[in-house]
Amino acid sequence: MDIKDINRSIVKTYRKNIFSKVIKAVKDYNLIENGDNIAVCISGGKDSFLLSLILEEIRKYQNIDFKLKHIVMDPGYNKEAIDLIKENSKLFNLDVHIFKSNIFNDIKDEKNPCYICARKRRGHLYNKAKELGCNKIALGHHFDDVIETVLLNVFYAGSFGSMLPKLKSENYENMQLIRPLYLVKEYDIIKWTNYNNLKFINCACTLENKNFDSKRLEIKNLIKTLRQNNPSIDNNILKSTENVNLNTLLGYTKDKKHSFLDDY
pLDDT along the chain (264 residues), means of 10: 94 98 98 98 97 98 95 90 96 95 64 65 90 98 98 96 96 96 98 98 62 83 96 97 95 93 91
The DSSP code sequence of 85-116 is: HHHHHHHTT--EEEEE--HHHHTTT-SSHHHH
Q: What is residue 74's predicted lDDT score, i.e. its pLDDT?
A: 87
Q: What is residue 121's predicted lDDT score, i.e. its pLDDT?
A: 78
User: Quick one: 3-244 is in which CATH superfamily?
Assistant: HUPs (3.40.50.620)
How far apart CA 231 and CA 257 sit, in angstroms, is 36
How far apart CA 255 and CA 259 sit, in angstroms, is 13
Q: What is residue 206's predicted lDDT score, i.e. its pLDDT?
A: 55
Is 77 in a helix, a strand, or coil? coil
